[in-house]
Amino acid sequence: DTCKIAVLRIDKFGDTLISIPTLRNLRERFPHARIDVIIGKANKGLSQQLSHYVNSVFFYDKTLIGLIKTLFFLRRNHYDVCLDPMDNPSITSGNLCLLSGATHTIGICKQNAHKYSHCVKGKDRSTIHIVERTAQLLIAFGIDPNKANLDCEFTLSDSCKHDSLQKLSTVIDPNKPVIAINIAGSTLSRTMNPDFAINVYQTLTKATSHLDLQFVFFGPESHKTTLDLIRNSVHCIIAPFTQSFDEYAAMLKSSSIIISTDTSAVHLASCWKRPTLCLFCKDHTGTALWTPYNTLHESIQSTTFNVNDIDVSSIGKSFSALVETSPLQSAFEQLYS
Percent of the chain with pLDDT over 90: 82
Q: 336 or 287: which carries more pLDDT confidence? A: 336
**Average pLDDT in the 147-176 region?**
96
Q: How many distinct helices (H) and strands (E) make up the chain?
A: 13, 12
The pLDDT of residue 320 is 95
Q: What does the pLDDT average to over 275-302?
A: 92
Instruction: Say what percent of the chain tops pLDDT 70.
Output: 100
* Residue range 87-140, pLDDT digits in tens: 888 888 889 999 999 999 999 999 888 999 999 999 999 999 999 999 999 999
* pLDDT at residue number 262: 86
Asked whether the beta carbons of 299 and 223 are under 8 A apart, the reply is no
Pseudo-torsion of CA 245, 88, 4, 56, nearest 10°?
-10
Residue 133 confidence (pLDDT): 95
| pLDDT for 243 | 87
Q: Is the pLDDT of residue 180 over 80?
A: yes
Supply the pLDDT for residue 311.
95
Residue 286 has pLDDT above 80, yes or no: no
The DSSP annotation for 228-293 comes to: HHHHHHH--EEPPP-SSHHHHHHHHHT-SEEEES-HHHHHHHHHTT--EEEEE---SS-PPP-PPT
pLDDT at 62: 86
pTM, rounded to two decimals:
0.92
Could you give the CA distance from residue 35 to residue 28 in angstroms, rounded to a whole number? 12
State yes or no: pLDDT of 302 exceeds 90.
Answer: yes
Mean pLDDT over all residues of the chain?
94
Return the pLDDT at 89. 80
Instruction: Report pLDDT for 149.
Output: 96
CA distances for 236 relative to 41, 125, 192, 239, angstroms: 34, 39, 15, 10
How confident is the model over 148-156, as a mean pLDDT?
95
pLDDT of residue 72: 94
pLDDT at 285: 79
Q: What are the pLDDT digits (tens) for 305-333?
A: 999 999 999 999 999 999 999 989 999 99
Judge whether residue 211 has pLDDT over 90. Answer: yes
β-bridge mates for residue 119, sequence order: 107
| C-beta atoms surrounding 14 within 10 Å | 19
Please state the rounded mean pLDDT for residues 68-73.
Answer: 94
Which residues are paired to 73 by β-bridges? none
pLDDT at 287: 86
pLDDT digits (tens, 9 = 90+) for 26-52: 999 999 999 999 998 888 888 999 999
SS3 219: coil
What average pLDDT does range 230-255 have in this prediction? 95
Question: What is residue 92's predicted lDDT score, i.e. its pLDDT?
Answer: 87
